[in-house]
Amino acid sequence: MSYPIDALIYALDVNPDISTEGRVLFLRAQAHPALEHFEGRLVCQQTWKPKANLLQAAGHRVEREVHGLFDLVLVLPDPQRDLMVADLARAHDHLAPGGVLMAAVHNDAGSKRCEKYLREVAGQIESHSKHHSRAFWATKQEGKPWKADLLERWRSGAAMRRILDGRFWSRPGLFNWDRIDEGSALLAKHLPDTIKGNVADFGCGWGFLSDHLLRTCHDIVTLDIYDADCDCFECARRNLGIIPTKVKAHPHWQDITTGFDRTKFDTVVMNPPFHEGKEVDPLIGLKFIAAAAQALRPDGQLWLVANRQLPYENLLTEAFTQMDKVIETGGFKVLHAQSPIIQPTYVRRGKRRR
Classify domain 161-348 by CATH number: 3.40.50.150
Same CATH topology for 4-157 and 161-348?
Answer: yes
- The single-letter code of the amino acid at 149 is D
Q: In a 3-state reduction of DSSP, which class is residue 29?
A: coil
φ/ψ (deg, to 5) at 117: -60, -45
Over the chain (354 residues), the average pLDDT of each successive run of 10 is 87 86 95 93 96 96 93 96 97 96 96 96 93 95 90 96 96 94 97 98 97 97 97 97 95 93 92 73 91 95 95 95 96 97 51 36
Provide the pLDDT for residue 275. Answer: 63
Provide the pLDDT for residue 261. Answer: 83
Provide the pLDDT for residue 354. Answer: 34
Q: In a 3-state reduction of DSSP, which class is residue 350?
A: coil
Provide the pLDDT for residue 17. Answer: 81
d(CA 89, CA 68): 14
Query: What residue spans define the domains of the chain?
Result: 4-157, 161-348
Alpha carbon 105 to its chain's center: 19
Beta bridge partners of 327: 334
Q: In a 3-state reduction of DSSP, which class is residue 172?
A: coil
What is the pTM assigned to this prediction? 0.91
Q: In a 3-state reduction of DSSP, which class is residue 329?
A: strand
CB 292 within 8 A of CB 270: yes
CB 249 within 8 A of CB 316: no
What is the DSSP code (8-state) at residue 104? Answer: E
d(CA 256, CA 26): 25
Provide the pLDDT for residue 263. Answer: 83
φ/ψ (deg, to 5) at 47: -100, -10
Beta bridge partners of 119: none
CB 189 within 8 A of CB 310: no
Classify domain 4-157 by CATH number: 3.40.50.150
